[in-house]
Structure formats: C-alpha cells, structure tokens
Structure 1
Amino acid sequence: MFDLNKITRENISALKPYSSARSEYKGDAKIWLDANENPFESGLNRYPDPLQLDLKKVISDIKNVPVKNIFIGNGSDEAIDLLFRAFCEPSASKAFIFTPTYGMYAVSAAINNIELVSISLKEDFELPDLQTITPIIKKNTGLLFICSPNNPTGNSYTHQQIEAISSTFSGIVVVDEAYIDFSEQVSAVSILAKHPNVVIIQTLSKAYGLAGARIGMAFANPDIIAILNKIKPPYNINTLSIKAALETLKKTTQYEAQKIALLAEKSRFKTAIEESPLVEHIYPSDANFLLIKFKNAGTIYHLLLNEGIVVRDRTKEIENCLRITIGTKEENNQLINLLIQ
C-alpha cells in the first residue's frame, strides 16, 4: 500500500523550506522592495515567479491537468533529481529501471548514492511480464522509472502495464513521457487520479522545440507536487525561459505543423533506407527518432562523423545499433544518400 509519509525522507518531511516575501505575498503589489533587486527596469531586473503560475495555467489548459498537480522544472532532469532527493534515502533506498533506457536515471541515482536495479526488457524491448517484475520490486520503495516512448528504443507501453506495475510497487512510479507528443499513445496523465504513486514527466524540449529553454513538467498528486516545490531552488525557472515557453505554447498551428512534418519525414526516411544493404533492422518508433541496427554500426558511425553528421552510438547497450534523430528534409536527404550508396 502506497503511503507518501512513509516513503518521504525524514529530513525532507522536517525541512522548513526557504520562503521569500515574493512567494508569501498574495496581493497586487505596487512597489517591490523585498529582494534587494536593481530597481531600474530592464525586463530582467526582477526575480521570476517562484511557482511559474502564469505558465502553469497555460499548461493546465493544454494538458487538462489542474495547476495544483503541476511542477515546472529546469528541464525534466531537475524533476528526476528532486524525486531522488525527496523519496530515496542515500545508501538505503533502491531505484528500478527497465534497460536499455534513458541514461540520466542511472546518473541521478549515482549522484544521490542510490542503488540502481536494472530489469532487462524483452528482446523486442517490451516490458517483462508482471510475474517477472513483482518479486524484484516487491517489499521495496524508492523510485521505479518507465520511459514511454522509451529512449533509445522508441516503443511505448500501455496504460494497463503501467497501472499493473503501479499497483504492485509501494514506491513512486515515474513515467517519463518526453516523446509522448509524437506518439499515438495517449498520455498516462489519465491514470493519476487512480494511482497516487504515479508521477508523469514531460518536456517542451522535443516537439515544442524549446530544448534551449530547459522547461520540464511533472504531473502528480498535489502532495507530491508540494514536496517538489518545497525542495526546489526558490527561482528555478528563469524569466527568459518562462517567456519563451508562454510564446511557444501560443503557436499551436506551428507546433502541429512541425510535428506532422517530422512524423512524415520519419516515415519517408525509414522507407528510403530500409532496403539499404547496410541496414539490418529498423525498430518501430513512437518518437522523433529511429533505432537502427546496422550490419556494422561502428563503420557507419565513423563514416557519418567524417561527413560532419553526428548520431547517437548505442552499440554498448544494443549490438550494432545507432539512434538517429529525424532532422529537416535537407538533413535527412544527406543522410539517405550516404546510407543507400
């Protein structure tokens, strides 16, 4: 049975968070003399809203998630790190991942001195059966990560699978949906009401084209959100990033057009290279990338580097596989020409 009080670190429960006059005051101030800021207006002379309420309201409308269920992080990596700091006791707790998957989970676990338990995906990169998973995670708390669509494999997992694992695990299940905007799979935010131990992570870095602004989102029950807000830096999202996010989220036509274009390019690119003698297999993908098994991935990787094209080498985790992001039509054409010659 999930009990947030039991899995929250004692020092975090006892923590008195930093509180600024800016976060305490709820009215409409005329003069700000509380934070030792430079008073001469530049557009950046004031600290940003510590809770990013204007941005959360826009995200709330788009994602159909109440503001109280939203955390905004400096990239989704901040949310991942804060979850470790809040709910994993160093040298005592465990974190669980399904490999191969996003490498930052392991890095954050190591930084926070948390034992990481890897559970191998099936050969087709599907999740293992619940009968296989349960004995490993049972009687444990901490964090369990499910990346869906998964990076670097590109495949998604069903809500039924996620819910079954969430019902079995007494800790927090983190569903990383960085690529959900490219997927036909509906976001798992719909299961939050039934599963108080689920945290959904999304980002504006991929489909929304704001990787440089570092805007990550976590959706969870209000008690978890309150803990993340309690331990985050006071002003974790800067004014420029908030403005960029607000402007980008208004451009719904551009967002949809770019997403359609990228998905069309993914299909065209896949069709163009799948008969290449260099290619052994192209894995199904719900993301804006393809995991491709080559007959000699090392040779292809260095061939592309010599042409100034950088892709992601995944051969250490998946034999002879490269992960290739879908670029513009012109960029993809250059790659196609090299791979089909």
Structure 2
Amino acid sequence: MFDLNNLLRDNIKKLTPYSSARDEFKGEASVYLDANENSLGSPLTKWYNRYPDPLQWKVKEKLSAIKGVRPENIFLGNGSDECIDILYRAFCDPGKDNIIICPPTYGMYEVSANINDVAIRKVPLTPAYQLNLEGIEDAVDEHTKIIWLCSPNNPTGNSLNREDVELVLNNFAGLVVVDEAYINFSRHRSFVQELEEYPNLVVLQTLSKAWGLAGLRLGMAFAGESIINIYNKVKPPYNISEATQELVLKALEEVGMVNDMIRILVDQRNQLAKALSEVELVQKIHPSDANFLLVQMPDANKVYNFLLEKGIVVRDRSKVTLCEGCLRITVGTEVENNKLISALKDFTP
C-alpha cells in the first residue's frame, strides 16, 4: 500500500522551507520594497532587477492547458536533472535506502543516486529492451524508495510495454518515475493522464527535445499534489529565472510550430533509418520512438573516431550494457543526415 508519509525522509517532514519575499506576497503592486532588489533596474532591462515568480504560475497555467493537468500537479525544475535530484533528497535516506534502475537507461538516475549516497540496484532490460518484471520484484525490499523507468528509453529509443509499467505501478509501494523526455516523438500515450489513478506516479518531461529549448534548462515533473508540494518545499526559492519563464511562455504560444517540427523530425528519422539500412557497414537499426537511432556496427568505436575526423559527432554507446557495438545517432536536418550517410559509406574497416 502506497503511503507517501512512510516514504518521506524524517528531516524533510520536519523541514520549514525558506520563505522568500515573493512567497509572502503574491500578486501585482506598483512599489516593491520587500526583497532587497536593486530599485534602479539592471544593465539589461528593468524587469531583471526583480526576483522571478518562485512557483512559475503563468508558465504552469499555460502548460496546464497544453498537457491537460491542473497547475497544482506540475513542478518546474532547472532541467529534468533537478526534478530527479529532489526526489533523492526528499525521499531517500543516505546510506540506508535504495533505488532500482533498468540499464541501459539515462545515466543521471545513477549519478544522482551516487551523489546522494543512495544504493543502486540494477535490473537490466531484457534483450528486447523491455522490463524484467521478475527481476524488479526480486530486487525490491523494504528500503526501496524509487523505481526509475525511461520510456521512450535512452539510449535504446524504444517505448516500454505499457502493461508492464502499469504492473509495476500497481504492485510497488514506493515512487515509480516514468521519464518521458522523448514522448513527443512517440505515438504512445503519455502517463500524465494517469496521475489520479496512481498516487505513486511521477512523470518527467522536458522542453529540451521536441520543443527545442535545451539551452533554457526547463524540466517538468507531473504528480499528485502531495508530491508536488514536497518538490516545492525542497527546491531552491528561485530555481527558474525570469528570462527562462519569459522565453518559455513565448515558446508555448507556438504549439503548431512545434508539432510541425515533430512531424519533420519523425519523417527524417524514418528516412535516416532507411538510408542506414542500405549502408553495408550497418548490422542493425533498433526501432525508435525518439529523435535518435541506436545503430549496431562492427568496431563502433573506430567508426565513431572516423566520423569525428569528418567533423560529425555522434554518441559512442558501445560500452553500455546491452548496447555493445552501438552508436547513438541523433536525427539531424536532411543535410546533416546526408553528410552522415556519405561519411559512413566512405568508411573502410
């Protein structure tokens, strides 16, 4: 049985969060003399001398309309990495608790666990890159606080079977985090719409991929209001800058443009996969629901270095569990993809 209070660290239960000037006053005023800001402005613009909204309500309200969830069910982080780190700091007792990851998967789950001194239990995916449900069940004990699931998965590109994820959600008393950084490139339904059904569910998304805003560093966590309240209790007071909030609000007006970019990238992904299949060097192209392809070939490291010499940078994943001999190739523009294919055809073992 899921009980949020049993998962939470004792020090977080007792924590009195920092109360900023903008937490204590909400709304609009003509004279602000409460936050020790520079009243004369800044070298950039008058706006940036003021602290930003600490809870980013305007951005959340806009996202609420796009995602179909209440603003109170949204947390905004300095990239998804902050959304990941806060869960460790709030729920996992250092040196005592553990989490489960399913490699190959996104590396920050492990890095953040190590930073927070939380034990890691690895249950590798099956050769088909799906969940090993029996392995996960065997790995869980009374100190397991979080299971991390990435779907579509990075670096494999495939989506996890929805029924398997639901099985984990229904049978695990801790938090289940479904990282959907690449969901916009997939035809699979997001788990964001399942928040009311699963109180232990946290869904991560980002504006770095489909929205093309990697430089702004805005990650999103969707969860029940009780979990979002804990996020807000632990986060730094002003974790999202005013400039980021302004630019994100502007970008969120362009849903049509983003959908067009997604269609183009998915089409380019399919064309790139077809072109790669005609390259003699390529042994296997793994199915992808993301904006990249995992491609197997002989001596992947040698190919990686050859491409570097040609000024083409891909990701060498050949030393990652279950990705032996593989390069991860992001879908580029048509011109960039053609340069890649031409270079691969020039490669001689």
Q: For this structure pair, what is the TM-score category when the shorter chain's length is used for normalisation?
A: over 0.9
Which of 223, 230, 235 matches 2:233? Answer: 230
Deviations 1:77-113 (A, max 9, x none): 0000000000100000101001100001110000000
2:120 alignment counterpart: 116
Deviation at residue 227 of structure 1 after TM alignment: 0.4
Name the aligned partner's letter for residue 24 of structure 1: E
Query: What is the CA distance between 1:142 and its match in structure 2?
Result: 1.3
Is 1:205 aligned with 2:208?
yes
Matched, 1:145 2:152: no
Q: Determine the structure 2 residue equivalent to 1:35.
A: 35
Output the CA distance in 1 between the equivalents of 2:166 and 2:40: 52
Which of residues 56, 62, 68 is equivalent to 2:72? Answer: 68
SS at 2:271's partner residue? helix
Q: Secondary structure at the match of 1:279?
A: coil
Cα distance in 1, alignment partners of residues 130 and 166 from structure 2:
15
Q: What amino acid maps onto 1:286 in structure 2?
A: D
The 8 Å contact of residues 17 and 234 in structure 2, kept in 1 or not, is answered as yes
Is contact 2:68–2:193 with CA below 8 Å preserved after alignment? no
The CA RMSD measured in Å over matched residues stands at 1.1
Deviations 1:273-301 (A, max 9, x none): 11211100000000000000012211210
| Aligned counterpart in structure 2 of residue 338 of structure 1, from 337, 340, 343 | 343
> Aligned in 2, Cα 1:151/1:315: closer, same or farther, shift over 3 Å?
same
How far apart, in 2, do the equivalents of 1:132 and 1:225 lie?
A: 30
Q: Verify the 8 A CA contact 1:39 1:45 in the aligned structure 2.
A: yes
Is 1:327 matched with 2:343?
Answer: no
Distance 1:80 1:103 in 2: 11
Aligned ranges 1:1-341 → 2 under 5 Å: 1-41=1-41, 42=45, 43-128=47-132, 130-317=133-320, 318-341=323-346
CA distance in structure 2 between the aligned counterparts of 1:22 and 1:132, rounded to whole angstroms: 47
The residue identity in structure 2 corresponding to 1:2 is F
Q: Which blocks of at least 5 consecutive residues in structure 2 are unaligned?
A: none
In the alignment, the residues of structure 2 paired with residue 159 and residue 190 of structure 1 have an alpha-carbon distance, to the nearest angstrom, of 13
Structure 1 unmatched ranges of 5 or more: none
Mapped contact 1:278–1:296 kept (Cα < 8 A): no
Give the Cα separation in 2 of the matches to 1:240 and 1:15: 30
Instruction: Say whether the 8 Å CA contact 1:288–1:326 is kept in structure 2.
Output: yes
- Distance in 1 (CA, whole Å) between partners of 2:338 and 2:156 is 23
Distance of 1:124 and 1:322 partners within structure 2: 17
Q: Deviations over 1:151-185 (max 9, x none)?
A: 00001123321121012212111100000010001
Structure 1 residue 340 displacement after superposition: 2.8
How far the C-alpha of 1:326 sits from its partner, in A, is: 0.5
> In 2, distance between residues paired with 1:112 and 1:241?
27
Aligned mates of 2:108, 2:223 — CA distance in 1: 20
User: How far 1:22 sits from its partner (Å)?
Assistant: 1.3
8 Å CA contact 2:203, 2:221 repeated in 1 = yes
Question: Following the alignment from structure 2 to structure 1, what is the Cα–Cα distance between the partners of residues 62 and 256?
Answer: 16
SS of 1:117 mapped into structure 2 = strand
Q: CA deviation at 1:131?
A: 3.1
- Aligned partners of 1:105 and 1:151: how far apart in 2? 12
Runs of 4+ in 1 over 4 A off after TM superposition: none
CA contact (8 A) 1:139 1:170 kept: no
TM-superposed CA distance for 1:339, in Å, is 1.7
Separation of aligned partners in 2, 1:240 and 1:316: 39
Contact 2:265 2:291 in 1 (8 A): yes
Q: For the Cα contact (< 8 Å) 1:159–1:188, is it kept in 2?
A: no
Contact 1:276/1:339 (8 A) holds in 2: yes
Q: State whether residues 153 and 291 of structure 1, in contact with CA within 8 Å, keep that contact through their aligned partners in structure 2.
A: yes
Aligned partner of residue 216 in structure 1, secondary structure: strand
Deviation at 1:138, TM superposition (A): 4.5
Query: 2: distance between equivalents of 1:52 and 1:259?
Result: 26
Identity within the alignment, %: 50
Instruction: Name the CA distance, whole Å, in 2 between partners of 1:321 and 1:49.
Output: 44
Indicate the larger mover: 204-213 or 150-159: 150-159
Number of residue pairs aligned between Structure 1 and Structure 2: 340
**In 2, Cα distance between the equivalents of 1:311 and 1:34?**
50
| Letter matched to residue 335 of structure 2 | E
CA contact (8 A) 1:98 1:127 kept: yes
Residues 163 and 191, structure 1, Cα contact 8 Å, conserved in 2: no
Q: Quick check: 2:100–2:144 contact (8 Å CA) kept in 1?
A: no
